Amino acid sequence: MAFFFEVLVTGLMVGIMYSLVALGFALIFKASDVFNMAQGDMSLLAGLALVGFLELNFPLWLALLCTIAIMTVLAYGTVFIVLKPLVARPPIMLFMATFGLAYMIQGIGQSIWGTQAKGLNLGIPDIPVTIGGLFLSTFDLTFGAVAGILVVILVWFFHKTRTGRALRAVSDDHEAALSVGIPLLKAWAVTWMIAGIVAVVAGIAWGTRMGVQFSISYIAYKALPVLIIGGLDSIMGVIIAGLVVGAGENLSEVFIGPYVGGGIQTFFPYLIALLVLYFKPYGLFGKEIIERV
Amino acid sequence: MFYRECGNYKDSYASDMAIFPIPLDQYGFIIMMIFAFLVIPLTASDYWLSNIMIPFYCFGLSAIGLNILAGYAGQISIGHAAFMAVGAYASLILYGRYGIPLIPSILGGGLISSAVGTIFGLPSLRIKGFYLAIATLASQFIIQWIIVHWQWVSGGVFGTVETPDMQIFGLLINTPVKKYFLTLGWVVVLAIVAKNLVRGQLGRNWQAIRDVDYAAEIIGVNLYKDKLIAFAVSTFYAGISGSLITFCYYGAANIEEFHVMVSFALLGMIIIGGLGTILGSFFGAGFFVLLPIGINQVLGNFMAVVPSEILSNLEAIIFGGLIVLFLIVEPYGMARLWHTIKDKMRLWPFPY
């Protein structure tokens, strides 16, 4: 039984890291109805930039600041160069534009900082500790805590600050927000910037775990089922779904995997997602748009 | 001056519904066919035939498939490379293991891929848009896993199967020219079929579904049936193209060749080439195949050896940049540019 709980908790920890990536998707979708395929590549870019600045012997805080500055430039660039001309187009076009953006971010990031995998060491120890009879890695615990704090900050930001309220207004109804004087494009840019900062956190988390390399952008595809299960526009949903997916894939890999040949964690989250889609087409917590297909 | 409808009287229904109503277009098509069937095989080097033309045709075929699904029926799929893999492995198993002749094997690969595609298209009956896109991404991962992990399918290590010697009626297909003709034959036949499919009742139903699905249902389009047919046809094309590219280009079925990045590249091809056009699929595929070679040529003027890193990064930047550019400037891609040129031609040189 202890083994079961260990597998479960490890899964939950990984799940939180999926939530971090999925959070960026959800934020942007909520604000601008854009399904941002470039989220994983934004994490990759953030990780690459951070390592790049650290290699120049910048202190950590300065490197982080510079990385966030890059993400901000990217956010404003994306909104004012790519999205602005596409405002009134069907959402599927915007989706495809972000898909081109993903290619560009990948190419540009890797031409500046190289394609080989780099280690990212922030001095977080990766030693197992025992809590209540369970072996856990301090590393997982740290990032669990970081993700938790991030979500609290985001919820506070969206509910208590003036900017946050403006962003929620935009996500509720574009035209109504415009008519009370909220600049739409600026609001989008701020949202993309926040998603960029979330991408920085995700980039750090995954970069320290598996090295900063191209495959970080694939984490995004792991995060997509999380998004589906939680509902495309729900922050809470994404967190819960992340936990479900993380636990589910780890448990299935350990307990079902050996019988069918292993490696089922690559698609198990998608199976859960398909199942959820069948019963709740807008995810567990997504805004239900009544519409017949 | 010469390119116009003037004096072109349609005196039968057949001539009214012709694919190329203007004589100059018909001549152009005939010249293109002569070029493809005679000039290229006679003049092009083996490198051009086997490394550029064959993948161009195969990706073009696959892009037609995706275009039918995404461009005409409006159902985005980001797992299309997986169906190419299904076609590739299925035709290899049929041909290599069961000894079925080559042409039926390739056809069988397409049909099996189509069956699998229809199953993965089932979610489209209930969901659409991004949710559906992600559901199709599931097919990519599930199929990849099955091919790698089921010994019966992959037969070997890491899902790699060598292609056996290809024979049609005792004729050994071993030179690039023969492979070229095999590919070209399939592509021409299937492209004509696709063009006629999308011109007909079915194609119009698909476009109605793409534009406003509930309105389509009200005017009597059977949404479920037509969406599933779109999935079936589209994955049939993907399967055929997958088996052709394996037989004629890669020489071995390897799951890495049908990675999720290929699915994305296919989507990029149809955006750049033109959503909802058959011609655009070929433009996009040609662009995708020629881009790395073009970059290599240009950079080759400045440096002796072009590092593969720079090559792949530049490729990604240009490919991505063009996707964005086309979406902003010309949402219907290169095919629309071609039409604009033709419209200008019609009035040239006297614009009145």
CA B76 from chain centre, in angstroms, equals 15
Residue A238 placed within a domain? yes
Q: Please report residues of A whose CB lies closer than 8 A to that of B223.
A: 293
* Mean residue pLDDT across chain B: 87
Spatial distance between the Cα atoms of A31 and B166, rounded to a whole number of angstroms? 55
pLDDT of B46 > 80? The answer is: yes
Q: What is the pLDDT of residue B232?
A: 96
Residue B158 contacts A, CB cutoff 8 Å: no
C-beta of residue B226 within 8 angstroms of C-beta of residue B206: yes
Residue A287 placed within a domain? no
pLDDT of B288 > 70? The answer is: yes
Cα of B115 to nearest chain A Cα, Å = 19
Residue A231 placed within a domain? yes
Please name the residues in contact with B35: beta carbons below 8 A apart, sequence gap of 6 or more. Answer: none
Condensed to tens digits (0 to 9), the pLDDT of residues B64-91 reads 999 999 999 988 888 899 999 999 999 9
Is the pLDDT higher at B58 or at A253?
Answer: B58
**Average pLDDT, integer, range B240-253:** 90
**Average pLDDT, integer, range B9-37:** 83
Q: Please report residues of B whose CB lies closer than 8 A to that of A266.
A: 141, 144-145
Residue of B nearest to A86 (CA): B328
Q: Please report residues of B whose CB lies closer than 8 A to that of A86.
A: 327-328
Length of chain B, in residues: 352
Residue A74 placed within a domain? yes
Please name the residues in contact with A281: beta carbons below 8 A apart, sequence gap of 6 or more. Answer: A293, B126, B127, B131
Domain of A168: which CATH number?
Answer: 1.10.3470
Answer whether A278 sits within 8 Å of B268, measured CB to CB: no
Residue B126 contacts A, CB cutoff 8 Å: yes
Domain that holds residue A232: 2-279
pLDDT of B8 > 80? The answer is: no
Cα of A64 to nearest chain B Cα, Å = 25
Q: What is the pLDDT of residue A69?
A: 94
Condensed to tens digits (0 to 9), the pLDDT of residues B222-235 reads 998 999 999 999 99
Q: Which of B137, B141, B149 sits opposite A261 (nearest CB)?
A: B149
Is the pLDDT higher at A265 or at B189?
Answer: B189
Q: Which of B130, B287, B291 to mutate to test the interface with A (most CBs of A within 10 A)?
A: B130
Residue A286 placed within a domain? no
Cβ contacts below 8 Å, chain A against chain B, sum to: 143
Residue B292 contacts A, CB cutoff 8 Å: no
Answer whether B316 sits within 8 Å of A115, measured CB to CB: no
End-to-end CA distance of chain B: 12
Spatial distance between the Cα atoms of B104 and B6, rounded to a whole number of angstroms? 46
Residue A173 CB: number of other CB atoms within 10 A?
Answer: 11
Count of structural domains within chain A = 1
Answer whether A86 sits within 8 Å of B328, measured CB to CB: yes
Residue A293 placed within a domain? no
Residue A58 placed within a domain? yes
Compute CA distances B103 → A39, B49, B176, B182, whole Å.
Answer: 43, 21, 18, 9
Residues 2..61 of B with a Cβ closer than 8 Å to A: which? none
What percent of chain A clears pLDDT 70, i.e. is strictly above it? 95
Please name the residues in contact with B65: beta carbons below 8 A apart, sequence gap of 6 or more. Answer: B80, B83, B233, B234, B235, B236, B237, B238, B241
Q: Which of A25, A30, A92, A238 to mutate to test the interface with B (most CBs of B within 10 A)?
A: A92
Is the omega angle on the peptide bond into residue B123 within 30 degrees of 0, that is, cis? no
Closest CA to A101 of A24, A27, A45, A183: A45
pLDDT band at B51 (very low <50, low <70, confident <90, very high): confident
Answer whether A264 sits within 8 Å of B260, measured CB to CB: no
Residue A59 CB: number of other CB atoms within 10 A?
Answer: 10
**From its phi and psi, is residue B131 left (phi > 0), alpha (psi between -120 and 50) or beta?**
alpha
Q: Please report residues of B whose CB lies closer than 8 A to that of A82.
A: 324, 328
pLDDT band at B2 (very low <50, low <70, confident <90, very high): low
Q: What is the pLDDT of residue B250?
A: 87
Condensed to tens digits (0 to 9), the pLDDT of residues B116-134 reads 999 998 888 877 777 788 8
User: A132: exposed, middle or buried (C-beta count within 10 Å: 0-12, 13-18, 19+)?
Assistant: exposed
Answer whether A266 sits within 8 Å of B271, measured CB to CB: no
Residue A183 placed within a domain? yes
Residue B307 contacts A, CB cutoff 8 Å: no
pLDDT of A292 > 60? The answer is: no
Lowest-confidence segment of A125-134, A242-251, B138-147, B307-316 by average pLDDT: A125-134
Condensed to tens digits (0 to 9), the pLDDT of residues B211-224 reads 888 899 899 999 98
Answer whether B138 sits within 8 Å of A225, measured CB to CB: yes
Q: Please report residues of A whose CB lies closer than 8 A to that of B313.
A: 106-108, 110-111, 115
Answer whether B127 sits within 8 Å of A277, measured CB to CB: yes
Q: Please report residues of A whose CB lies closer than 8 A to that of B317.
A: 103-104, 107-108, 111
**From its phi and psi, is residue A181 left (phi > 0), alpha (psi between -120 and 50) or beta?**
left
Answer whether B323 sits within 8 Å of A227, measured CB to CB: no
Whole-structure pTM value = 0.88
